[in-house]
Amino acid sequence: MVDSLAYTPQITLEFKIGEKDFFVAGECASRVKKTLQQLGLKQNVIKRIAIIIYEAAMNVAIHATSGMVTVHIEPDAITIRTEDVGAGIEDIDLAMKEGYSTATYEIREMGFGAGMGLSNIKQCSDDLKIESKVGVGTTLNAKVYFQEQPRPADR
C-alpha cells in the first residue's frame, strides 16, 4: 500500500452525468475504485473517495439537469469536483444537515433521498467546499489526502 504516488503521472477521470442518469452515478464510483486499486492506494482511502464520488454524482443525477464529475489524481491527494447546471441549493447549511432532503418519492423508492448524502461526503473529505447559485447550479470540491490528516472534532 502506498501513501504517495510520486512516480505515477497525474491522472484525470471525467464523467458526464445527465438528468436522472442514476446508473452512471453508481458506475463512476465503481470505476474510480477499480482504477485506485490498480494504483495500490490504501483500502480506507479508496473507500472514502468512492463514497464521495457516489454521493456527489447521485446528487447531480437527482437534482441537476446536467453535470460533470472530475476526479483528479495527484501525487499526495485526490480531488473530486462536481459541477452542475440546475436548481442550485438555497441554503447550504440546511442541505448539509443530516436528514434534510428535497428528494421525490421516486428517488426515495430507489433507496436514496434520505438526506445523508452531503453529510456522508463531509465525513469522508479532508477538505470540502460547496458553492451554489439558485437557478444556476452547484459546484462541489472535495479533497482526500493519502496520508491521514488530523480531523476537526466536529467530524
**Binder to another protein among 17, 36, 54, 86 (CB under 8 A)?**
54
How many angstroms separate the CA atoms of 115 and 3, rounded?
32
CA distance 84 to 114: 21
Residues forming a β-bridge with 130: 140
User: Which grid cell is 11?
Assistant: 491522472
Cβ proximity to another protein, 19 vs 27, nearer residue: 27
Contact status: 8 vs another protein (CB under 8 A): no
Q: Which is nearer to another protein, 99 or 135 (CB)?
A: 99
DSSP 145: E
51 forms part of the interface with another protein (CB under 8 A): yes
Helix axes 117-124, 43-63, angle to 10 degrees: 150
The rounded distance, in Å, linking the Cα atoms of 100 and 115 is: 5
Closest approach, Cβ 114 to another protein, in A, equals: 5
Of 24-32, 67-75, 134-142, 147-155: span binding another protein (CB under 8 A) = 24-32
Residues in touch with another protein (CB under 8 A): 22-23, 26-27, 29-30, 33, 43, 47, 50-51, 54-55, 58, 110-112, 114, 116-117, 120, 123
